[in-house]
């Protein structure tokens, strides 16, 4: 039975490890087990990966069984360190996040008064006790063991979905993926930036478990997203497309990533973090669908200016329009995946046709169109028309044929330049007359 459960655990998913019982000196339930060596609630163990080195030796961490008075003292000490830290530094960011965690933990003690905790805040996570667990089998993100929902209580983070046993909540060593991505605000755009096990001191970057190729139980697993090595408890071989490989090579093959990377990618899948035009502009010339969507985004930007000023047109601003009609020109992984599947092209075509029909038929929106000064006909031009060319200086619109026939010279800009030259000549003449009159006043 134990062998079957071990084989079913995500810790050994797609692994070369064969399921065999541990020896007496490496029992999984032993207090000296290295799977919890990076716990955040013990005084003697600090997470050196996330705690800045300048404050790693100040004994800020409190035990999970700390009293209310101990937490209040830690809050005061943390406030003093924040005031003495450098503004916008990593040290201050960590201290502010830890101060929020301490205050939430203090409120938790006040509310529960020794009762079972329904909510727990630690390492940026906002845990809530699972009252109605799902029917599917669940695993703890801390120890990778099975969560028996009938006899075991469990917590789930409302921000990143981190799931753990009730007994493991005070020993987790992973910062909330929502906090990490919110602070970073972008994906890793280097393809698997591997530094090697020596740079990690041959330890798991998350829980500090010793890694070795000699012991199959502690085999190092490479995360293709971060380029770091993890142990089997922190790396379940979750497959996922890598943003850097997509942007640089349009490679959508799924590769194995760690649990923290998988949660980060899942949370940020629909967030517009990728500036393709800045990172890899050559991709537009190789992917025709991406180039077409990029052009449609420019048209949607002009349509948005018309629709926002119209009461009836503002109802057409769908979530897809808001995401793609913005001015930052960034894409999310969901957008790029929809471009690769071809579904986004269909949605954009339908959306632009509806918006174009409203702008051309609405009396208010159509009144803000342009007329070509070269041909002088009554055809109304709009910036999102394919046959229209806009002057970069004055935003005047012309037919493409009329623009080429005039040698790409804007008539409005020519009039403005001529008027400016005449005004300067008149002012120069007036200044000379005033000088001549003043010469004979005395």
Question: Distances from the Cα of 84 to the Cαs of 258, 354, 355, in angstroms?
Answer: 36, 57, 55
Q: State the distance between the two ends of the chain, measured CA to CA, in whole angstroms.
A: 117
Position 32 confidence tier, pLDDT thresholds 50, 70, 90: very low
Q: Which two tokens stand for residue 11?
A: 């810790």
Note the pLDDT of residue 134: 67
pLDDT for 313 beyond 90: no
Mean pLDDT for 221-234 is 93
Residues 348 and 398 in one domain: no
Q: Is residue 400 part of a domain?
A: yes
Note the pLDDT of residue 235: 92
Position 88 confidence tier, pLDDT thresholds 50, 70, 90: confident
Residues 56 and 108 in one domain: yes
Q: Is residue 338 part of a domain?
A: yes
Domain count, the chain: 3
pLDDT for 138 beyond 60: yes
Q: Is residue 155 part of a domain?
A: no
Residues 359 and 387 in one domain: no
Domain's final residue, options 122, 141, 158: 122
Position 183 confidence tier, pLDDT thresholds 50, 70, 90: confident
Position 229 confidence tier, pLDDT thresholds 50, 70, 90: very high
Residues 391 and 415 in one domain: yes
Q: Is residue 203 part of a domain?
A: no
- Partners of residue 238 on adjacent β-strands: 257
324-328 CB contacts, 8 Å cutoff, 24+ apart: 324/293, 324/296, 324/297, 324/300, 324/348, 325/297, 325/300, 325/301, 326/272, 326/301, 327/301, 328/272, 328/275
Do residues 230 and 223 touch, judged by C-beta distance below 8 A? yes
Question: Distances from the Cα of 190 to the Cαs of 27, 164, 270, 293, 323, in angstroms?
Answer: 39, 31, 20, 25, 25
CATH number of the domain within which 385 lies: 3.30.40
Do residues 118 and 169 touch, judged by C-beta distance below 8 A? no
Pairing of strands 229-230, 370-371: unpaired
Position 24 confidence tier, pLDDT thresholds 50, 70, 90: very low
Note the pLDDT of residue 237: 92
Q: At what angle do helices 90-112 and 68-84 cross, to 10 degrees?
A: 160
Q: Is residue 248 part of a domain?
A: no
pLDDT for 104 beyond 50: yes
Better-scored residue on pLDDT, 42 or 200:
200
Mean pLDDT for 45-63 is 55
pLDDT for 286 beyond 80: yes
Residues 283 and 355 in one domain: yes
pLDDT for 13 beyond 90: no
Residues 339 and 382 in one domain: no
Residue 17 exposed, middle or buried by CB count within 10 Å (0-12, 13-18, 19+): middle
Residues 354 and 391 in one domain: no
Mean pLDDT for 111-116 is 57
pLDDT for 326 beyond 50: yes
- Partners of residue 22 on adjacent β-strands: none
Max Cα–Cα distance, the chain, nearest Å: 117
**CB half-sphere exposure, 291, CA atoms < 13 A:** 8
Residues 362 and 295 in one domain: yes
Q: Is residue 380 part of a domain?
A: yes
Residues 346 and 336 in one domain: yes
Position 63 confidence tier, pLDDT thresholds 50, 70, 90: low
pLDDT for 131 beyond 80: no
**Mean pLDDT of the residues in the chain:** 78
Q: Is residue 272 part of a domain?
A: no
When mean pLDDT is compared across 43-57, 297-311, 353-367, the lowest value belongs to: 43-57
pLDDT in tens, 145-172: 888 876 677 899 999 999 998 888 888 8
pLDDT in tens, 239-261: 999 999 999 999 999 999 999 99
Position 436 confidence tier, pLDDT thresholds 50, 70, 90: low
Mean pLDDT for 375-389 is 81
pLDDT for 330 beyond 70: yes
Note the pLDDT of residue 40: 34
Q: Is residue 179 part of a domain?
A: no
Question: Given the structure tokens 């330890």, which residue do they identify?
Answer: 203
Q: What whole-number distance in Å separates Cα of residue 442 and Cα of residue 423?
A: 31
Domain's final residue, options 90, 122, 154: 122
Q: What whole-number distance in Å separates Cα of residue 201 and Cα of residue 184?
A: 25
Note the pLDDT of residue 53: 61
When mean pLDDT is compared across 221-235, 308-322, 346-360, the lowest value belongs to: 308-322
| Of 178, 160, 168, 165, nearest in space to 138 by CA | 165
Note the pLDDT of residue 217: 72
Note the pLDDT of residue 176: 92
Domain's final residue, options 71, 89, 122: 122
Note the pLDDT of residue 76: 85
Residues 281 and 364 in one domain: yes
Residues 290 and 359 in one domain: yes
Q: Spell out the residues 6+ positions from residue 192 whose beta carbon is closer than 8 angstroms to its own.
A: 222, 224, 225, 227, 242, 244
**CB half-sphere exposure, 436, CA atoms < 13 A:** 6
Question: Given the structure tokens 């080195």, which residue do they identify?
Answer: 53
Instruction: Tell me which residue range forms the domain holding 75.
Output: 41-122
Residues 355 and 396 in one domain: no
Note the pLDDT of residue 190: 94
Question: Given the structure tokens 């949370």, which residue do they identify?
Answer: 267
Mean pLDDT for 317-322 is 75
- State the SS3 of the chain: CHHHHHHHCHHHCCCCCCCCCCCHHHCCCCCCCHHHCCCCCCCCCCCCCCCCHHHCCCCCCCCCCCCHHHHHHHHHHHHHHHHHCCCCCHHHHHHHHHHHHHHHHHHHHHHHCCCCCCEEEECCEEEEECCCCCCCCEECCCCCCEECCCCCCEEEECCCCCEEECCCHHHCCCCCHHHHHHHHCCCCCCCCCCCCCHHHCCECCCCCCECCCCCHHHCCEECCCCCCEECCCCCCCEEECCHHHHHHHCCCCCEEECHHHHHHHHHCCCCCCECHHHHCCCHHHHCHHHHHHHHHHHHHHHHHHHHHCCCCHHHHCCHHHHHHCCCCCCECHHHHHHHHHCHHHHHHHHHHHHHHHHHHHCHHHHCCCEECCCCCCCCEECCCCCCEEECCCCCCEEEHHHHHHCCCCCHHHHHHHHHHHHHHHHHHHHHHHHHHHHHCCC
pLDDT for 321 beyond 50: yes
Note the pLDDT of residue 288: 92
pTM over 0.75: no
- The pair phi, psi for residue 78, each rounded to 5°, is -65, -40
């Amino acid at each position: 039975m134990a062998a079957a459960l071990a084989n079913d655990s995500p810790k050994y998913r797609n692994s070369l490890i064969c399921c065999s019982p541990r020896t007496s000196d490496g029992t999984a339930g032993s207090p000296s087990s290295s799977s919890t060596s990076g716990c955040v609630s013990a005084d003697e163990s600090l997470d050196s990966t996330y705690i800045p080195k300048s404050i790693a030796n100040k004994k800020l961490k409190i035990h999970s069984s700390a009293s209310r008075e101990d937490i209040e003292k830690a809050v005061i000490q943390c406030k003093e360190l924040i005031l003495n830290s450098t503004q916008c530094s990593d040290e201050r960011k960590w201290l502010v996040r830890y101060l929020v965690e301490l205050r939430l933990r203090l409120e938790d003690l006040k509310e529960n008064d020794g009762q079972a905790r329904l909510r727990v805040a630690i390492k940026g996570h906002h845990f809530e006790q699972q009252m109605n667990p799902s029917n599917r089998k669940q695993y703890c993100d801390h120890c990778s063991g099975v969560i028996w929902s009938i006899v075991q209580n469990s917590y789930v983070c409302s921000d990143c979905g981190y799931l753990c046993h009730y007994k493991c909540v005070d020993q987790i060593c992973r910062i909330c993926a929502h906090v990490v991505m919110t602070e970073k605000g972008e994906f890793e755009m280097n393809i698997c930036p591997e530094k090697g096990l020596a740079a990690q001191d041959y330890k798991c970057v998350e829980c500090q478990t010793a890694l070795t190729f000699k012991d199959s139980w502690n085999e190092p697993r490479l995360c293709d997203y971060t380029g770091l090595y993890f142990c089997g408890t922190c790396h379940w071989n979750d497959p996922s497309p890598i943003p850097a490989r997509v942007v640089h090579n349009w490679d959508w093959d799924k590769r194995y990533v760690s649990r923290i990377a998988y949660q980060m990618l899942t949370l940020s899948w629909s967030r517009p973090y990728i500036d393709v035009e800045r990172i890899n502009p050559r991709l537009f010339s190789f992917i025709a669908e991406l180039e077409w969507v990029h052009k449609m985004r420019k048209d949607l930007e002009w349509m948005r200016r018309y629709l926002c000023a119209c009461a009836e047109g503002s109802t057409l601003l769908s979530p897809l329009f808001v995401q793609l009609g913005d001015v930052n020109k960034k894409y999310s992984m969901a957008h790029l995946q929809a471009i690769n599947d071809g579904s986004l092209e269909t949605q954009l075509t339908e959306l632009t046709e509806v918006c174009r029909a409203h702008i051309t038929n609405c009396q208010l929106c159509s009144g803000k169109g342009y007329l070509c000064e070269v041909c002088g006909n009554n055809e109304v031009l709009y910036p999102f028309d394919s046959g229209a060319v806009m002057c970069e200086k004055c935003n005047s619109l012309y037919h493409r044929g009329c623009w080429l026939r005039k040698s790409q010279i804007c008539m409005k800009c020519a009039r403005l330049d001529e008027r400016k030259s005449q005004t300067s000549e008149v002012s120069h003449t007036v200044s000379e007359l005033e000088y001549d009159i003043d010469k004979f006043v005395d």
